[in-house]
Structure 1
């Protein structure tokens, strides 16, 4: 069986690339395709230093830095991959990878991180943040996204079976494509985030500083709690704005390497997370360290954090690992922090660690391999029938 794996783009080692790494661990013989490949020579171990077949976008002007600007060409580009020699095609898709062309004697499985966010339910947020709500450029962007949606729905018909990374994304796939999917949670490298039970008296948050992460709300909440210390790790377009808001009890570290991040996650009293994520790896890395999470109760967080019971006398179904707030506001974050502190020893480092272990890479590899083998057996049986 010849296998091809098609990934949207290879430029950094982030969440989707961690999944790709484990796919290749399951099927090391697979050949790899991507619209662009700008991974440095020293950062290719996670793809096993494989050669990558790329599209014409790789050779377009300024593609290394501006590849996203070629979104209107991406549907055409991904359709140019000739995959006719492969029996099994696995698309690793949060944008256009699932749009590859396959035939009736080829099985196409899609690991879907999300239907294209900025073309579907997050379109208005994307246009607002990009300053494209009005004007000629705005109407051009809306027209392009309209046609991307039409293409995205059509190409969903070429996928034989979908994998969703969470129940939240499964609902988005159902809404956009009208298709069911199998949930396989992404892998979290819990071994890289060892348990530490002795905690220090500070809170931590870490993410790229972009609007939807809502770091400004977290900073404003801690400004209103001057007796509590917050450490903010990350960089991005909103860094200057957030730095201007930070009070004396808020420390901004900017970009930090993995060792600094791990050290703070291990020592912090709790990790604070205000984004609505499709899955959310950072809260699980914190829990792997034995650190509870105070999170916005929407999206993937609902599936990765076991909340303290809302009713104090209620018995939790499992040992709690965090506290939710259900409104993206300063007041809601403050109330959640106070509720967390009032819980005392109800949330233990050991419980946090045990919960994170449910998402270890070994679990992903077992579930992913079983899914592929099951779908392949059914596909072969259908062909023979």
Structure 2
């Protein structure tokens, strides 16, 4: 610790890191200074120290599948390679029977504890489609948590049903929705959203719908997609909005920063972004996430999906405490062709053990299922 103290005192961000070690979270302006500093290793040492103080040398993961129930979407986000327009030849929507078959196979083979349900903004699907799917999963697979539907999907359902988003959330909760993922946030700054996803809900709407979910007792995760057209000030603004909401609701269980993958997207075709942000930026984002959210949002995920297993191992030493999920059947990131997104529990367990950490399998709510 004394060696760490010496390094901190000679750093341009030493005052911020000093405050972090005494339990004081950085302000928005201090967040900007962290983002503009190149002292990533020192940020990681402090973030890693804070994480180990809370969790020890242990990392968790969840055995899950991603269920991309439809690729039909009318939002046309420039960062997405997954969506298809209504009526396109290769568009699809899973039937209730197909959803049941996928969950059953995954439960039988892998004893999954979570199904992450996300798809496109499909105007042909009614609320009943989701209600029936959630009811079926909860009834037939009671040990599998239903973690589903981004705020923008909730908004789409409310427009189809001509009902309020709060009413939609309430009915989905009654049907078995247990928690909500953070997708749709991207960067919570509308000048950024106007470039990358102009048809999607605004930053204020994302926050409003997430606030409604929390108020109804539906916890969730918060995300940030970085590495495209955003500035450091935009990222600092994003963190500030997440902090502000969490201080009000305490509804976020985890924060997941993930880097944009440009392959096969409109943003690459238009030369807005030609390549991903890379490993150093991931480690910086993980470390800053822990510094900004320590004591407020307990869990930071390693973001292996767009950065690979090796970077996730480093992320666990830079402030992340959760590896994420097995993600069998993922189709969105795999559409970019960036890498295989299949990952079994054995590979996660091996990866965590390789860095000398113990491995905890968890459920949808971050409760321990068993130690490996």
TM tier, smaller: under 0.3
Taking structure 1 as the reference length, what is the TM-score of the superposition?
0.27
Which one has more relative contact order, counting CA pairs under 8 Å at least 6 apart?
2
